[in-house]
Amino acid sequence: MNTPNRIDEYFEHIQGQLGTVLQRQHDKLHRAADTWATAIAADRMLYAFGSGHSRLIAGELYWRAGGLASVMVLDDPTEGAVERLEGYAKAITDPYDFGEGDVLIVISNSGINAVPIEVALEGKARGVTVQALTALEHSQQSVSRHSSGKRLFEVADQVLDTCGPYGDAAIAITGREWRAGATSTVVSVALLDAIVAQTAELLVARGVEPPVLVSANVPEGDTHNERLVRHYWRRLARFPRRTV
C-alpha cells in the first residue's frame, strides 16, 4: 500500500496560499506597513494580541531578531482558556497604556470569539488603529460568539486576510472527514514579517531610523539592542493605564 505524500501536498498548499495572500492582499499589506511606519515615526507603539493558539503568532512580533523593538504583546494569563468569556478582555487590556496614535493588531483565525472581539472594541474606544488578522472565508461563514453579533473583521479599521480554508486545516486524510495540517500560523507569520520588512524600509525613506532588532547571537547584537531597550523599556512593560 502506497501512503499518500502529504508532506509534499502540505508544502504545495502553503506555497499556493502564500501566493494567494500576496495577490489578493498586496495593497492591504502595504497599507498596514504604512500605518505601522506612521505610528513608529511619531514614536508610538504597536500592540499585538492573539488568544489561544493565535498568541504564538502575536509573539512573532515581539522582541526578536529582525523584528521591531516598538512592539508589545498583550498577555492573556489563561492562554486562551476563556476566549469565549464575554467581559474578560478588560482584564487583558487594562495593564497596557495604549491609546491614540498606537496600532493594535488583533489575531484570530475564526474571528468569532468574545475576547479578541472585545480587545478590538477596547482599542477602538481608546482611539487606536485596529488591524485584524483573520481568515475571512472561515469568519464570514461563522456566527459571532459575542453579544454584539459582530465578528472581528466587522470591528477592525483594517483587515488582513490569511486566505485560509474553513476550519484552518488543509490536507485531506484518507478515510476521514476531517483534515490535518493547519495553515494559519505559517501564513500569518509570513504575512506579519513581510509587513515588518516593508515598515523598516518606509521608515528609512522618511528619514527615521527603523527600530529593528539584531540577533543577540551576533557580536554587535547586544550593543545595538541596548540602545533600543533604553528608548522603549518603559513601554515594554505592563504599567497601569492611569499611572501618573
**Residues contacting residue 67 through CB under 8 Å, at least 6 positions apart:** 60, 61, 193, 196, 212, 213
Burial zone of 141 (CB within 10 Å; 0-12 exposed, 13-18 middle, 19+ buried): exposed
Label residue 240 by pLDDT band (50, 70, 90).
Answer: low
- For the chain, give the percent of residues with pLDDT over 90: 93
241 lies in a domain? no
Q: Which domain holds residue 53?
A: 6-206+215-236
**Residues contacting residue 72 through CB under 8 Å, at least 6 positions apart:** 45, 46, 47, 48, 62, 96, 98, 235, 236
Average pLDDT, the chain: 95
Label residue 198 by pLDDT band (50, 70, 90).
Answer: very high
**Helical ranges in the chain per DSSP H:** 6-41, 54-59, 89-93, 114-126, 136-140, 152-155, 184-205, 221-232
Answer whether 70's CB lies under 8 Å from 209's CB.
Answer: no
Label residue 98 by pLDDT band (50, 70, 90).
Answer: very high
Q: What is the pTM of this model?
A: 0.95
Label residue 239 by pLDDT band (50, 70, 90).
Answer: low
pLDDT tens digits for 130-169?
Answer: 999 999 999 999 999 999 999 999 999 999 999 999 999 9
Q: How confident is the model at residue 244, as a pLDDT?
A: 40
How far is the first Cα of the chain from the last one, in angstroms, to the nearest whole number? 70
Task: Dig out the grid coordinates for 104 from the structure.
Answer: 493594535
71 lies in a domain? yes
Q: How many domains does the chain have?
A: 1
10 lies in a domain? yes
Three-state DSSP state, 46:
strand
Label residue 38 by pLDDT band (50, 70, 90).
Answer: very high
Q: How confident is the model over 96-104, as a mean pLDDT?
A: 96
- pLDDT surpasses 80 at 241: no
Instruction: Specify the range with the lowest mean pLDDT, choosing from 66-75, 91-100, 116-125, 233-242.
Output: 233-242
- For the chain, give the percent of residues with pLDDT over 70: 97
- pLDDT surpasses 50 at 243: no
- DSSP 8-state assignment for residue 45: -
Question: What angle in degrees, to the nearest 10, is found between the helix axes of 6-41 and 184-205?
Answer: 30
pLDDT tens digits for 159-176?
Answer: 999 999 999 999 999 999
Burial zone of 57 (CB within 10 Å; 0-12 exposed, 13-18 middle, 19+ buried): buried
CATH value at residue 51: 3.40.50.10490
- pLDDT surpasses 80 at 60: yes
Residue bearing cell 525613506:
205
